[in-house]
Structure 1
Amino acid sequence: ARDQQLILGISLGLVLLGLAAIIIITQRVRVQRLRFQQQQQESNQEIFNLMLAQKQKMEEGKNSEKKRISEELHDGVLGAMNGIRMVLLGLNKKTDDSAVNMRGEALEKLKEVQEEIRSISHELNHASYRKFHNFINSINDLLKETMAASDLEIAFNYNEDVEWDSLSGDTKINLYRIIQESLQNIIKHANASKVDLDFERLEDLLKIRISDNGKGFDVRKAKKGIGQKNIRSRVQKLNGTWNVESTPGEGTTISVLLPYQTDQQETSLLVNEAGQLEEVKKD
């Protein structure tokens, strides 16, 4: 009986020793795992900090380059043009009527270029695109370039009484890109020969329609490519809404509804899902 108790005691001790060893090993594994996770988090944080630092350096580099270009335009080019203008003013003292008239025209052109460069200098220095010079002409140039590079015939319709240049810089730039992206999509996918681009102002709303006579597609089954994602992103940036209507064999129409927003307005406007304007205080 005493031997049995001894054997039982030794067996129990071995079992407890085994359990203790298992617990110790398990704890060590957990500690190592936690240590590894902590190291991984620290590494991820270090990578994230490096990315932030790199991004900040890139932004600083961009701003520095913009400032440098601004200074070069203002101090270098404008200074040289002022010198040329002074020379021409001196030459204008000559009595030859034809030469005087030609130099007068040259002076006017120099003044125009000088104002344009001063405007560019100002925009670069403030890192913004507040002024998209002569918006309708810019759109016409885009359409001409597109027609020259493709077989498209594009008709542009807009109300000449509307002050299109009074639109905010963000509106003009993003609207230009929306039209550009839409035309590229038509060229790539629509197999169209005609496009109608319509600008319409409805009180405080701006409506843009881009229609083509291409092959069309089933809107419900179509995949949304990068082009449409870019358009959606730009429309959302302008607090607007957009819609695509298309039927196989009957062409496609893209409709964009935006607030008629100017830089002078103290509030931002957005178009809700019902196509109505809401007022949002600017930051």
Structure 2
Amino acid sequence: MKLLRHGPKGQERPALLDADGHVRDLSGVIPDLRADMLTPEGLAPLRALDPRSLPRIEQPGRMAPPWSGMGKFICVGLNYADHAAESGLPVPAEPVLFTKHVSTVVGCNDPVVLPQGSVKTDWEVELGVVIGRKARYVSEADALAHVAGYCVVNDVSEREYQLERGGTWDKGKGCDTFGPIGPWLVTADEVADPQALGMWLEVNGHRYQNGSTRTMVFGVAHLVSYISRFMTLYPGDLISTGTPPGVGMGQKPNSIYLKQGDKMTLGIDGLGQQAQTVHAWDPALIDG
């Protein structure tokens, strides 16, 4: 299934995308698509539906984050060897973990708003892994059974805040609007191999990133198992698994960073596409 939510902020409605690419209304079946509904038991009633029996939505409008109530947004740094190289950093011996605040989460086409004084905001297309079963000290062999599905993530990052202002990476990763996700949550049964997905990102029509999840240093199963040693994962938690090379910071001879009016488009095979316009600081675009 391809599950989604649409509508203005605070008025989101659940829906699914049928096999013909039509959006079908789920609001007569469930009031919302919540994190606690992403368990096998919670998804089972939706799997049993005939999508053709659901009302068709001709113009869904704003694509919202695909589910509500995310508890944790966990990210993996330097998980592609060639991205580590362009960052001038060694390939890690163990996964590098950091968090994005859940307040970063926006819909896949919502505005990305530059923080006040930002001069080094960057892009990162990433595979998002959505947890569907409580996971604590799970084995790598069992890890994928704890995954509800997958989605596209843009791990927007302010590099000056992240790398030049001390402390952890979180300052550069956690700004409002820095976590576009969606357009859909694609359930795990529709992704035959999460390590065989092409991914790309363009800015103003120029393709900067063109990679594949097959070149991850640590694959999805390893990451779910590894992270579950350090924290309990719950349904609706999101793991963003790292980015291939081609970020703005790594451009030669000079880094390139986002500015007002830039347009990002990005996608992952089978998981859909995103498109965001970059805006100067405007709290109305965050709160509205």
TM > 0.5: no
User: TM-score range, shorter-chain basis?
Assistant: under 0.3
The structure richer in helix per residue is 1
TM-score if structure 1 supplies the norm length? Answer: 0.23
TM-score if structure 2 supplies the norm length? Answer: 0.22
The structure richer in strand per residue is 2
Q: Which has the higher contact order (CA 8 A, sep 6+)?
A: 2
Structure exhibiting the larger radius of gyration computed from Cα positions: 1
